[in-house]
C-alpha cells in the first residue's frame, strides 16, 4: 500500500440543517474508525480552530484512495481534497 498526505477542507452548504450536519458528523466518525481498522487511515489531525483535516491515508493507488476510501466518507460531498502521494525519505528516522 502507498501512503498519501491528504488535506480535507469541509464546507457545509448554506441552508443545511443542524440535524443533517450532526448525523453526517456522527456517521463520519464511524466510517473513520472502519477505515482505520481496515488499514486505510493511519493518522488524522485537525489544525486548531479550523474545519480542515490533515491525514496519512493508505491505498493501493490514487484511484483506490479516491473511489474506495475517501469516496465513502459521509462528509465527502462537502469536502475538497488535496492529495499528495508520499514516498520514504532516505533520512526518515522512522524507517
Q: Are 4 and 59 in contact (CB under 8 A)?
A: yes
pLDDT at 50: 86
Average pLDDT per run of 10 along the chain, which is 95 residues long?
97 97 97 98 95 95 98 97 96 86
Q: Which three cell numbers stand for residue 52?
A: 480542515
- Residue 66: is it exposed, middle or buried by C-beta count within 10 angstroms (0-12/13-18/19+)? middle
* CA-based nearest residue to 41, from 30, 49, 32, 53: 32
CATH topology of domain 2-86: Alpha-Beta Plaits (3.30.70)
Amino acid at each position: 500500500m502507498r501512503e498519501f498526505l491528504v488535506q480535507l477542507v469541509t464546507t457545509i452548504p448554506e441552508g443545511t440543517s443542524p440535524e443533517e450536519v450532526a448525523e453526517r458528523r456522527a456517521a463520519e466518525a464511524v466510517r473513520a474508525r472502519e477505515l482505520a481498522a481496515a488499514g486505510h487511515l493511519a493518522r488524522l489531525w485537525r489544525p486548531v480552530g479550523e474545519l480542515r483535516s490533515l491525514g496519512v491515508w493508505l491505498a493501493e493507488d490514487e484511484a483506490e484512495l479516491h473511489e474506495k476510501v475517501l469516496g465513502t466518507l459521509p462528509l465527502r460531498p462537502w469536502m475538497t481534497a488535496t492529495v499528495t502521494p508520499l514516498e520514504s525519505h532516505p533520512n526518515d528516522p522512522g524507517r
